[in-house]
């Protein structure tokens, strides 16, 4: 990965940390993954050869960016979030990193998306409201082909 892209990712991460430090309400926080989690996702996508990725929880696009950067040229990521508050910021981050063409941003309730979608994904990354995870597990499993993987971030950390 180029030094320019790493610098851009570091800047996106710094803005997230600064925001979360000053935000009073949980709903105003970005709650981004850490850089080492981003690096893990990057390596995992490459190691598995994933081509289609589904992400729940876009925020400002930090984790989406790590996932998209790992995908081959013909790879796609669908990132779903029902909040528009950081949509434009995420879109700008994707443009800055030169990865917009790999990303479909969906503004919809994640459970509704899963019920309506006919798409299959090699990897599903859950990084949203974890209280929803178990209620959508059957729909998640229907979206995975044999060998597909679900990764849950913060499944047992942070108070809900």
pLDDT digits (tens, 9 = 90+) for 100-114: 999 999 999 999 999
Predicted pLDDT at 155 = 54
How many H helices and E strands in the chain? 6, 5
pLDDT digits (tens, 9 = 90+) for 38-68: 999 999 999 999 999 999 999 999 999 999 9
DSSP-derived pairing of the beta strands 52-56 and 123-126: parallel
The answer to whether residue 156 scores a pLDDT higher than 70 is no
Q: Name residue 54's beta-bridge partners.
A: 78, 124
Predicted pLDDT at 11 = 93
Architecture of the domain defined by 3-152: 3-Layer(aba) Sandwich (3.40)
pLDDT digits (tens, 9 = 90+) for 61-84: 999 999 999 999 999 999 999 888
Closest to 81 (Cα-Cα) out of 114, 52, 58, 113: 58
Predicted pLDDT at 159 = 54
Cβ distance 125 to 151 under 8 Å? Answer: yes
The chain-wide mean pLDDT, for the chain, equals 91
Residue 118, number of CB atoms within 10 A of its CB = 6
What does pTM read for this prediction? Answer: 0.91
Residue 60, number of CB atoms within 10 A of its CB = 24
More confident residue, 138 or 86: 138
pLDDT digits (tens, 9 = 90+) for 94-103: 999 999 999 9
Predicted pLDDT at 28 = 82
Domain ranges of the chain: 3-152
Using CA atoms, how far apart are residues 102 and 21, in angstroms rounded to an integer?
31
């Amino acid at each position: 990965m180029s030094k320019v892209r790493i610098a851009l990712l570091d800047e996106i991460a710094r803005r997230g940390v600064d925001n979360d430090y000053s935000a009073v309400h949980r709903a105003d926080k970005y709650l981004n993954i850490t850089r080492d989690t981003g690096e893990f996702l990057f390596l995992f996508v490459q190691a598995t050869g994933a081509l289609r990725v589904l992400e729940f929880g876009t925020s400002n696009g930090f984790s989406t960016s790590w996932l998209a950067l790992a995908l081959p040229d013909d790879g796609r990521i669908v990132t779903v979030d029902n909040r528009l508050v950081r949509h434009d910021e995420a879109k700008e981050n994707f443009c800055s990193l030169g990865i917009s063409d790999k990303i479909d941003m969906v503004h919809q309730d994640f459970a509704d998306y899963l019920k309506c979608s006919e798409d299959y994904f090699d990897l599903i990354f859950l990084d949203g409201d974890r209280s929803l995870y178990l209620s959508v597990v059957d729909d998640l499993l229907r979206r995975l082909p044999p060998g597909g993987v679900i990764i849950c971030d913060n499944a047992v950390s942070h108070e809900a």
